[in-house]
Amino acid sequence: MRPIAIGSDHAGYDLKETVKKQLSELGYEVGDFGPDGTESVDYPDYGIKVAGGIDRGEYDRGILICGTGLGMSMVANRFNGVRAALCNDLFSAMMSRRHNDANILVMGGRVIGSGLSAQIVRTWLETPFEGGRHKARLEKFCNL
Q: Please name the helix (run of DSSP H) or strand (run of DSSP E) that holds residue 130, with its range, or none.
A: none
Among residues 8 and 123, whose Cβ is nearest to ligand RB5?
Answer: 8
From the CB of 53, what's the least distance to ligand RB5, in Å?
Answer: 20
> Which string of x and - marks every residue 72-91 that binds ligand RB5 (by CB under 6 A)?
--------------------
Quick check: 7 binds ligand RB5 (CB under 6 A)? no
Mode of pairing for the β-strands spanning 62-66 and 30-32: unpaired
- Strands annotated E in the chain: 4-8, 30-32, 62-66, 84-86, 104-108
The amino acid that residue 140 corresponds to is K
From the CB of 43, what's the least distance to ligand RB5, in Å?
Answer: 5
Residue nearest to ligand RB5 (CB): 71
Give burial (CB, 10 Å; 0-12/13-18/19+) of 100: middle
From the CB of 54, what's the least distance to ligand RB5, in Å?
Answer: 19
Chain-centre distance for alpha carbon 97 = 11
Choosing from 43, 59, 79, 124, the residue that interacts with ligand RB5 (CB under 6 A) is 43
The residue ranges that bind ligand RB5 (CB under 6 A) are 9, 11, 43, 66-68, 70-71
